[in-house]
Structure 1
Amino acid sequence: MSTSFYILANRIVNDPSYKPFLAILKGIRNGIVYGCKIRFPHALVMTFLFRNGTLSQKIKAILTATFTHASNLARFVFIYKAIRLIVKLLFNEIKQYHTVIAAFIGGYYVFGEKNNVNEQINMYLLSRILVGLARLAQENNIIPQTKKPIFPWFGAIVWGIVLWLFEYHQHVLQSSLQSSMTYLYHDSNRWNSFKNFLIYNK
């Protein structure tokens, strides 16, 4: 591309009047890139470790999961940042509840669709916000500060509950978690030769 194009492009992207709108475009771009970086290696490993099917079916599953993750992040960023921009233009400021409402709307329309990718993302966020809210509550003296480390108790409660659910109510758990736990805790009880004892699983 010509030098004049780069000069014009740099002038536009550095113009403060365009910045709020360009921030939405960059957010969409970052959503796509981040979604691909996070989902592709995860889907690659999980598909080839645990999914049955032909090579083409596995590749299709990997690409579908990657596309879903990337496009959903991009869509959410667009909705969230666009609503915040509209609020800023209308009221000249963004309050905390505006942020909650913008994310609520984006979450409903993007991450409210039930599929494996959205389920994993929402569960990931749920665990993070529970810990974050507990820390916030401590900072604001809503719950007492602890002298002893709290993380060991967090780990104990999480693993105690998840293994109880897996062993006695497995159907309520996400399918990928069921597969992982079956591999670790049930498949390790089954073998009938040295080969499927140590070399391969079944």
Structure 2
Amino acid sequence: MGVLDNPLYRPVLEAIRSSRNGIVYGGKLRFSHALVMNILYRSGPPGPRLKSVLRATKDHAEVLAAFAFLYKVIVSVLRHEKLMGPRRLALIKFIAGSFSSWIVYSQHFNVFHPGITHQVTLYCFSRVAIAVGKILLDKYLDCAQPVFQTASGDLIPFGDLKSSQQNKLRSNIYNKSWKYFAVLVWGLVMLIYDYQPQYLQSSLRHSMAYIYDVDLEHWPTWRDFFGY
């Protein structure tokens, strides 16, 4: 039996593999993003700009790889029967995610790039906020069993609706929730950018300055206006 087939080494191999995937994903994602940002918003010799892109790519890959490795290792340790056992997998994953985040994303140790850890965490927060809203809605619909009016005018509890009707109702509520969420987020973004822009994440601030601060520009000719 080889190392790859040996169950004894499986947790370590999974941690290494997950870390490797974090490097690949983070490298691909950050390289393209950093390259576009440098082309659009920065000037100067190509050499230093390329070094900046590669540095950002390395930093992003390190963050995702470190978190993935720590998370998989901690899950493997806590799943041992003498600690928490496999039955408490949800709690184990929450603890592993929290502890790994304390090491990597919290900036408590000042090891990883603060801009990237900040950006990734905010990205996840928006997704988590939407997911939590959907979970709470589904729990409410299942437990409270509110009454809804069908197209024919009948009043039917949520649990008595057909599966297709339940899915359509959920979809409509999700869409309305997203509309309100989008309105609130962009209203606050524009307010903060006008009031205290230094508190926004740097890449967002630079892109907003490029898009919206056209009142500070001057265009002597149409060529200057269209930028060619």
TM-score range, shorter chain: 0.7 to 0.9
Find out whether 1:100 has 2:94 as its counterpart: yes
Question: Aligned equivalents of 2:215 and 2:100: distance in 1?
Answer: 42
Q: TM-score, normalised by structure 1?
A: 0.85
| 2:131 alignment counterpart | 132
| 1:87 alignment counterpart | 78
Question: Aligned equivalents of 1:38 and 1:65: distance in 2?
Answer: 10
Structure 1 position 179, deviation (Å): 0.7
Q: Deviations over 1:121-174 (max 9, x none)?
A: 111111111101101111111898764522222221111111111122212111
Question: Aligned equivalents of 1:12 and 1:95: distance in 2?
Answer: 26
Q: Which amino acid aligns with 2:199?
A: V
Structure 1 position 17, deviation (Å): 3.5
Of 20, 43, 55, the residue aligned with 2:46 is: 55
Among the aligned pairs, what percent are the same residue?
31
Question: Aligned equivalents of 1:173 and 1:105: distance in 2?
Answer: 26
| 1:198 alignment counterpart | 226
Q: Which amino acid aligns with 1:44?
A: L
Structure 1 position 188, deviation (Å): 5.8
Of 10, 13, 17, the residue aligned with 1:22 is: 13
Q: Which shifted more, 188-197 or 72-81? A: 188-197
Find the residue that maps to 1:44 and give its secondary structure: helix
Find out whether 1:44 has 2:35 as its counterpart: yes
| 1:109 alignment counterpart | 103
Find out whether 1:121 has 2:149 as its counterpart: no
Q: Deviations over 1:86-130 (max 9, x none)?
A: 111233324322212211111111112262211211111111111
Question: Aligned equivalents of 1:36 and 1:188: distance in 2?
Answer: 36
Q: Deviations over 1:63-103 (max 9, x none)?
A: 11110111111111111111111111233324322212211
Structure 1 position 189, deviation (Å): 5.3
Unaligned runs of 5+ in 2: 108-112, 147-168
| 1:3 alignment counterpart | none
Q: Which amino acid aligns with 1:88?
A: R
Question: Aligned equivalents of 2:30 and 2:122: distance in 1?
Answer: 15
Q: Which amino acid aligns with 2:121?
A: N
Of 188, 191, 194, the residue aligned with 1:164 is: 191
Question: Aligned equivalents of 2:45 and 2:95: distance in 1?
Answer: 44
| 2:158 alignment counterpart | none
What is the CA RMSD across the aligned residues, in angstroms?
A: 2.2
Q: TM-score, normalised by structure 2?
A: 0.76
Question: Aligned equivalents of 1:162 and 1:126: distance in 2?
Answer: 15
Q: Which shifted more, 163-172 or 182-191? A: 182-191
- Alignment length, in residue pairs? 191
| 1:4 alignment counterpart | none
Unaligned runs of 5+ in 1: 1-7
Higher-Rg member (1/2): 2
Q: Deviations over 1:38-82 (max 9, x none)?
A: 111011101121124432221111111110111111111111111
